[in-house]
Amino acid sequence: MLHRLTITGLAGRLASGEVSATDALEACLAQVDRVDGEVKAFLSMDREDARRQAREADVELAAGRGGGTRPLLGVPIALKDVLCHRGQPVGCASRILEGYVSPYDATVVARLKAAGAVLFGRLNMDEFAMGSSTENSAYWTTLNPWDTARIPGGSSGGCAAAVAANEAFATIGSDTGGSIRQPAALCGCVGLKPTYGRVSRHGLVAFASSLDQIGPFTKTVGDAALVMEAISGHDPLDSTSLDEPVPRYREALGGASLKGVKLGVVKEFQLGGMDPEVDAAFRAAVRHLEGLGAAVREVSLPHSEHAAATYYIIAPAEASANLARFDGVRYGRRMEGVDAFELNSKTRGAGFGPEVKRRVILGTYVLSSGYYDAYYLRAQKVRALIRGDFERAFGEVDAIVTPTTPTPAFKVGEKASDPLQMYLSDIFTISCNLAGNCGMSVPCGFTRSPRLPVGMQLLGRPLGEAELFRIAHAYEQTTAWHREVAPLG
């Protein structure tokens, strides 16, 4: 049952010598062997390299070098296929990067190594992080450990499924428009999108650079705080990284009282079309937070109805520029052509899947002369209004609480042929990326039949992660949702 421990639980046993880093890794690998044929969270895994890291961690543990600056010493953690890990493949679940190996470590990877983590495995995702279900992966769809007829969410679906299936103690993903919080909610784990600039993006393959952030998937709020302490902080290699001190997030984890905390529920998020069981679980969670002493009031985000439209202009615009680098010359796969144009178009034609092509075309269109002002510039203005809404709301409350998603995990294939339906599954998560503040999803209940996890989203001020940890931890301490284990967990 070692694989079912939290990081905090494992760290205690590693420190006392009760278990070794090798034991912890082998427990994950055995669980992968048991369930990943069904869950399909991992694209690849370098077991030899992981075992070498675990042996090195065991030497360090024996020498008493855990704790302090090495809080993750010996803890197995896996990465979304969008993060560079030196000597390992990085493919963004795309054919265009087939065979490409990272020449360097992303800053988060370097920081995880410095904190002692044992890094293993590449996790499935929607191609270039474009999607909400992993169905856009060029390889296969990852399945939800709670019900394998259903998707795990996306784009970081492999990250969420691996944690829910207890195949890894934590995973690291990216969130451009909900890609950490949405899959965390649908798989019943904790997922945090940090404030824009809190975690370095150096070594993250860019999707939409003004929205992308890296963050953790964990089994508990406390574990998320632990991982965040390790990966946050200024990095001169990312010019958008904030030069602000990293709080000791674990110290923000207080008791169960939320006296004095002001929470907002969003007037505009009370939609028709919400799944009634998700809605009921969310309302019960809000009442629970009130019971812990929080004062709940309504706040207004009047421009949020335009968030999805704004996002689907800005994100594709930035993606079309970022993905121009995959030209058949510099990275990964290359198709032959008689000249540069043919080489380039054949490579991109064969290498990108349909959703990526749709986004590149959309992005190129909204940036083209004659349309730039009507679409891109206008979207930037709406983005400023959305940010203003949040600033006003955070003048009134400490955090905002919403459902993470309007429905529980949907069936494989249910929305795959309707991009608009798929885009709408991110309706509650997108505005946080446009505004740049932080957001977290925590388990807050289950639907009845089938039994599927429901997530509650907490949105905080820019650099308000500590506040989110406090609220989420109080909620977690007094509820048992996070202790439920998926049938494949």
- The residues annotated as belonging to the active site are 80, 155, 179
Cis peptide before 155 (omega within 30 of 0): yes
CA 35 from centroid of its chain's CA atoms? 22
Show the tokens assigned to 113. Answer: 């190594």
Q: Of the two residues 41 and 130, which places its CB atom closer to ligand GLN in the complex? A: 130
CB 183 within 8 A of CB 156: yes
Q: Of the two residues 309 and 343, which places its CB atom closer to ligand GLN in the complex? A: 309
**Given the DSSP bridges, would you call strands 262-266 and 213-218 parallel, antiparallel or unpaired?**
unpaired
- Under rule CB under 6 A, residue 132 binds ligand GLN: yes
Could you give the string, one character per residue 417-436, with x where binding to ligand GLN holds by CB under 6 A and - elsewhere? ---------x----------
- Under rule CB under 6 A, residue 177 binds ligand GLN: yes
Q: Of the two residues 178 and 188, which places its CB atom closer to ligand GLN in the complex? A: 178
Could you give the string, one character per residue 368-407, with x where binding to ligand GLN holds by CB under 6 A and - elsewhere? ----------------------------------------
Show the tokens assigned to 471. Answer: 């609220």
Which residue is it, tokens 């998020």?
A: 269
Determine the residue type at 308. A
Q: What is the total count of residues that contact ligand GLN (CB under 6 A)?
A: 13
Question: Going along 178-302, which residue ranges are E strands?
Answer: 190-193, 213-218, 262-266, 295-299
Question: Going along 207-247, which residue ranges are E strands?
Answer: 213-218
Q: Of the two residues 88 and 179, which places its CB atom closer to ligand GLN in the complex? A: 179
Determine the residue type at 20. S
CB of 423 to ligand GLN, least distance (A): 7
CB 31 within 8 A of CB 3: yes
Interacting residue with ligand GLN among 31, 53, 142, 179 (CB under 6 A): 179
The residues that bridge with 279 in the sheet, in sequence order, are none
Cis peptide before 354 (omega within 30 of 0): no
CB of 291 to ligand GLN, least distance (A): 33
Q: Of the two residues 144 and 176, which places its CB atom closer to ligand GLN in the complex? A: 176
Which residue is it, tokens 């065979």?
A: 99
Q: How far apart are CA 7 and CA 223, in angstroms?
A: 6
Show the tokens assigned to 145. Answer: 């450990």
Interacting residue with ligand GLN among 176, 218, 304, 310 (CB under 6 A): 176
- Express the helix, strand and coil content of the chain in percent, nearest 5 each: 45, 15, 40
If you ran DSSP here, which 8-state letter would residue 29 be given? Answer: H
Cα atoms in the 13 Å half-sphere on the side-chain side of 253: 14
Stretch binding ligand GLN (CB under 6 A), from 32-40, 56-64, 128-136, 337-345: 128-136
CB of 132 to ligand GLN, least distance (A): 4
Instruction: List C-alpha distances in Å: 196 to 34, 133, 153, 213.
Output: 37, 23, 22, 6
Residues numbered 313-352 forming contacts with ligand GLN, rule: CB under 6 A: 315
C-alpha dihedral (365, 367, 370, 371), degrees to nearest 10: 60
Instruction: List C-alpha distances in Å: 456 to 124, 279, 283.
Output: 24, 10, 10
Residues numbered 197-236 forming contacts with ligand GLN, rule: CB under 6 A: 207
Q: Of the two residues 150 and 473, which places its CB atom closer to ligand GLN in the complex? A: 150
CB of 151 to ligand GLN, least distance (A): 12
Could you give the string, one character per residue 82-111, with x where binding to ligand GLN holds by CB under 6 A and - elsewhere? ------------------------------
Show the tokens assigned to 86. Answer: 């030196």
Residue with CB nearest ligand GLN?
A: 179
Sequence-ordered list of residues with C-beta below 8 angstroms from that of 208, at least 6 positions apart, any chain: 176, 177, 314, 315, 316, 317, 318, 319, 322
Q: Of the two residues 288 and 359, which places its CB atom closer to ligand GLN in the complex? A: 359
CB of 488 to ligand GLN, least distance (A): 24
Stretch binding ligand GLN (CB under 6 A), from 17-25, 125-133, 289-297, 447-455: 125-133
Which residue is it, tokens 């803890």?
A: 75
Q: Of the two residues 459 and 474, which places its CB atom closer to ligand GLN in the complex? A: 459
Interacting residue with ligand GLN among 2, 84, 109, 129 (CB under 6 A): 129
Show the tokens assigned to 2. Answer: 């070692």
Could you give the string, one character per residue 141-170, with x where binding to ligand GLN holds by CB under 6 A and - elsewhere? --------------x---------------
Binding site for ligand GLN (CB under 6 A): 129-132, 155, 175-179, 207, 315, 426
